[in-house]
């Protein structure tokens, strides 16, 4: 790709910023603080349903801002962990004592891996990096490398065999997986649970499960209700993606009562903020739930259209996904770092480069589905960027 001198300075700054953020992308506030000269029009790095954000804000305006209740949310201590768990219990049809409330799913991942993983953890790669980064000193990490040939989907038989061979005490399955979106069906998860009953902790991360479906009417799936019969199952649920409220920090984990008790016995007392408590109370209300579900399905359908259009573009391979994002491989010799920089500088679109993801071989980016109009802008920009590159390539070839 071609860059002007001015652009090259930005490319360099981007590189530094990315390195500082480690294996995660710098967020939008960090961006504004460190690269104020860049205007981000669309944050397609950010994996959230924007329609759900709209809905939450509608309720928040009406019930919290217009009533003046915002002061209470800011000023007062939120309820303790167990009280919020009670609010969710009825709605989820899960015993409150099996529910652990987290300051975002990330806190639950940390809590579970720090407290319950003993010696060996098996992690599918590519994956969300915190799962191996949060492992404590002395714990062995075994990677189950998902096959590129199989589009990084999980081969159940092979997986079960590998777990039986390595005998880890903890295994992790993100479903649908991040960063590729491959989905493992309930029947396959049940098979894993049945055959791997001897594994101490089976973590299923359902952060993106609201975008997956098994029936034609896109009905919600979840493995959370399997915890009662499978005490080694731990289901972790982020609320940031499906409800579009990452800034609130809300998540929960479903796990055996003893685990919840262990965590609460010496920590995690007031780990929800006032907004998170309001969110959880709203989440458990049927009026909100009904309206949310309509927007969830709308977003799934639009994401399917988005993926379909992406597949028409040249020089890229779009991997199968049941999440609200797609993993894209750049072919034709395009470098991911340059492509990401170009999209950001020229089109104001911020996307996730995947060069830090272990287990991915090639030039990969991860692209989030946003609102329909944003998705259209993304498609047009990608098209123009890819075609421009191709034209420049031809020019170069002619010159040579």
**Which has the closest alpha carbon to 235: 272, 269, 186?**
186
Question: Which residue's CB is nearer to a second copy, number 80 or number 153?
Answer: 80
Give the binding range for a second copy (CB under 8 A) out of 126-134, 152-160, 298-306, 332-340.
Answer: 126-134
CB nearer a second copy, residue 215 or residue 266: 266
Q: Which of residues 20-59 bind a second copy (CB under 8 A)?
A: 20-21, 24, 26-30, 33, 43, 46, 48, 50, 53, 56-57
For a second copy (CB under 8 A), the number of binding residues is 62
**Closer residue to a second copy, CB minimum distance, 105 or 146:** 105
Q: How far apart are the first and last CA of the chain?
A: 16
- Contacts to a second copy from residues 206-245, by CB under 8 A: 240, 244-245
Look-up: residue for tokens 């209700």?
225
- Min CB(171)–a second copy separation in Å: 19
To a second copy, the closest distance from the beta carbon of 264 in angstroms equals 9
> Would you list the DSSP string of 103-142?
SSHHHHHHHHHHHH--SEEEEEES--THHHHTPPTT-EEE
For residues 302 and 288, is the Cβ–Cβ distance under 8 A?
A: no
Residue 349, both tokens: 């679109």
Beta carbon nearer to a second copy, 27 or 231: 27
Phi-psi group of 300: left, alpha or beta (phi > 0 → left; psi -120 to 50 → alpha; rest → beta)? alpha
What element of type H or E holds 195?
A: helix 186-195
The verdict on 284 binding a second copy (CB under 8 A) reads no
b/e map 142-157, b = 16+ CB within 10 Å:
eebebeeeeebbbebe
- For residue 116, state whether it binds a second copy (rule: CB under 8 A): no
Q: 92 or 146, CB closer to a second copy?
A: 92
Site residues (CB under 8 A) for a second copy, limited to 247-276 = 247-249, 266-276
Cα 320 to chain centroid, rounded: 16
- Contact mark string toward a second copy, 4..23, x via CB under 8 A: ----------------xx--
State how far the alpha carbon of 349 is from the alpha carbons of 10, 37, 198, 242, in Å. Answer: 14, 14, 46, 21
Q: Does 201 bind a second copy (CB under 8 A)?
A: no
Nearest to 175 by CA among 196, 190, 195: 190
Least distance in angstroms from the C-beta of 310 to a second copy? 23
Q: CA-CA distance, 8 to 10, in Å (whole number)?
A: 5
Binding mask 95-114 for a second copy (x = CB under 8 A): --------xx-xx--x---x
| Minimal distance, residue 219 CB to a second copy, in Å | 26
Nearer to a second copy, 78 or 168 (CB): 78
Which structure tokens are listed for 281?
A: 């109370």
CB 226 within 8 A of CB 191: no
Indicate the residue among 172 and 385 with the shorter CB distance to a second copy. Answer: 172
Applying CB under 8 A, does 134 fall inside the site for a second copy? yes
Of residues 67-96, those binding a second copy (CB under 8 A): 70-80, 82-83, 87
| Residue 277 makes contact with a second copy by CB under 8 A | yes
Q: Are 159 and 144 in contact (CB under 8 A)?
A: yes
Smallest distance from the beta carbon of 138 to a second copy, in angstroms? 12
Could you identify the residue written with the tokens 């458990």? 284
Name the residues that contact a second copy, by CB under 8 A.
20-21, 24, 26-30, 33, 43, 46, 48, 50, 53, 56-57, 60, 65, 70-80, 82-83, 87, 103-104, 106-107, 110, 114, 130, 133-136, 240, 244-249, 266-277
């Amino acid at each position: 790709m071609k860059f002007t001198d001015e652009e090259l300075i930005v490319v360099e700054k981007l590189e530094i910023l990315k390195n500082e953020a480690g294996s995660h992308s710098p967020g939008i506030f960090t961006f504004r603080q460190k690269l104020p000269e860049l205007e981000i029009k669309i944050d397609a790095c950010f994996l959230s349903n924007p329609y759900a954000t709209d809905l939450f804000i509608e309720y928040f305006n009406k019930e919290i801002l217009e009533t003046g209740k915002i002061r209470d949310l800011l000023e007062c201590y939120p309820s303790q962990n167990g009280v919020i768990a009670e609010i969710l219990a009825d709605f989820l049809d899960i015993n409150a004592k099996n529910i652990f409330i987290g300051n975002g799913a990330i806190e639950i991942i940390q809590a579970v891996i720090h407290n319950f993983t003993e010696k060996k953890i098996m992690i599918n790669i590519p994956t969300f990096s915190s799962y191996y980064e949060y492992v404590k000193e002395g714990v062995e990490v075994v990677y189950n490398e998902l096959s590129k040939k199989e589009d990084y989907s999980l081969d159940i038989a092979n997986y079960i065999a590998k777990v039986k061979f390595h005998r880890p005490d903890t295994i992790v399955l993100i479903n649908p997986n991040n960063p590729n979106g491959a989905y493992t069906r309930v029947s396959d998860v049940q098979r894993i649970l049945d055959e791997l009953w001897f594994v101490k902790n089976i973590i299923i991360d359902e952060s993106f499960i609201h975008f997956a479906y098994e029936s034609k009417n896109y009905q919600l799936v979840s493995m959370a209700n399997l915890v009662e019969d499978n005490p080694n199952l731990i289901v972790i649920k982020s609320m940031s993606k499906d409800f579009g409220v990452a800034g609130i920090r809300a998540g929960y984990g479903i796990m055996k009562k003893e685990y919840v008790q262990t965590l609460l016995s010496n920590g995690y007392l007031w780990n929800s903020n006032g907004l998170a408590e309001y969110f959880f109370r709203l989440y458990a209300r049927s009026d909100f739930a009904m309206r949310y579900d309509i927007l969830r399905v709308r977003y799934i359908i639009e994401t399917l259209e988005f993926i379909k259009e992406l597949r028409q573009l040249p020089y890229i391979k779009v991997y199968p996904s049941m999440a609200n994002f797609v993993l894209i491989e750049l072919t034709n010799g395009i470098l991911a770092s340059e492509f990401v920089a170009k999209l950001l500088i020229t089109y104001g679109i911020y996307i996730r480069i995947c060069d830090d993801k272990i287990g991915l071989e090639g030039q990969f980016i991860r692209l989030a589905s946003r609102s329909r109009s944003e998705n259209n802008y993304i498609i047009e920009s990608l098209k123009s960027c890819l075609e421009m590159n191709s034209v420049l390539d031809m020019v170069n070839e002619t010159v040579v």
